[in-house]
Amino acid sequence: MVTVRAPATSANLGSGFDVFGVALDRPADVVHVERADRTTIEVTGVGSQYIPTDPDRNVVGAVAEALDAPAHIRIDKGVRPSSGLGSSAASSAAAALALNELYDRGLSREELVPVAAEGEAVVSGEAHADNVAPALLGGFTVATGEGVTTVDADIPLVACLPEIAVSTRDARRVVPDTANMEDIVHTVGRAATLSVGMCRRDPALVGAGMDDRIVTPARAELITGYADVRSAALAAGADGVTVSGAGPSVLAVCGERERTRVAAAMVEAFDEADVAARAYKTRVGSGAEVF
Ligand code: HSE
């Protein structure tokens, strides 16, 4: 048997839609795999009742198929589904690494990124790699059609998860088809600022670089209380706030000393909007680990 822990992730970071991602040091999924004649799936943990065990409808079934690696796969969910924290990517990345090891396929983590992205296609209809790349490689990742670049960043974060569900498919439907040049120039500038901030391990630059005028405003509409949660986090000392992945989680970047205050302010602001929420005080972390 092989066991792998793969972390939650936060994609987009505002200005890097479908390109940027970070691994979070918590929460995480744990996946156990054993050789079998055909793939079977068992799911326990947070939100397991919403996850199909049919291999044709579960992300890890697609990964097992892509690696030609039938197995009994047990997923212990630590990352809630439909949270915006890369729940499906954590399972896909863990399964890809575990099955690669179990069947001695010899693929590198970089080579496993497109394999794990096959799992993403099952849930969102598109094999985007911005969550699976950090789940496998750790750090801050820039995923393009040509491959993945990584930066070993160390930045404090708060990921605030409200008790509402937003499906990735629905959140992709509200993404505008076009953007005007002024907004594109603004977003490119912010994305470049964010990348420099990650390289310099500078929360203020990362926060400034999260601002996006194209995708985030449309998605914010799907999250009850988003504007107030964002304002509360900024007032509590956050350097930047955005929607985490497809939402509904809200991600804040801040200095180490502000993290507890920012987390409390975000939970309180959701509470004032009648939405229960929990905050993970986290940071940019490492990729999946084999036990
Ligand atoms: N980049 C993706 C999105 C991440 O925002 O739709 C969610 O899977």
Mutating to test ligand 1, I would choose from 82, 142, 168 the residue with most ligand atoms within 8 A of its C-beta, which is 168
Show Cβ contacts of residue 199 under 8 Å, excluding neighbours closer than 6 positions.
Answer: 151, 153
d(CA 240, CA 253): 5
Residues of the chain with pLDDT under 50: none
Determine the pLDDT at residue 187: 97
Which atom of ligand 1 is nearest the CA belonging to 171? Answer: 6
Q: Interior CA angle at 213 toward 131 and 187, to 5°? A: 70
The answer to whether the beta carbons of residues 110 and 100 sit under 8 Å apart is no
Q: Which two tokens stand for residue 217?
A: 């405003």
Of 20, 82, 120, 124, which is best to mutate to test ligand 1, by the most ligand atoms within 8 angstroms of its C-beta? 124
Ligand 1 mean position to 35 CA, how many Å? 32
Q: Is 231 in the pocket of ligand 1 (CB under 6 A)?
A: no
Tell me the one-letter amino acid at 19. V
* Residue 167 Cβ < 6 Å to ligand 1: no
Strand residue runs (E) in the chain: 2-11, 20-35, 40-45, 71-77, 140-144, 147-151, 156-162, 240-243, 250-253, 277-283, 289-290
pLDDT score at 210: 98
Determine if ligand 1 sits within 6 Å of the CB of residue 245: yes
Q: What's the pLDDT score for residue 167?
A: 83
Does residue 101 have an active-site annotation? no
Let me know if 224 is a catalytic residue. Answer: no
Rounded Cα–Cα distance for residues 151 and 167 (Å)? 29
- Confidence check on the interface: ipTM exceeds 0.85, yes or no: yes
Which of 39, 168, 216, 282 is catalytic? The answer is 168
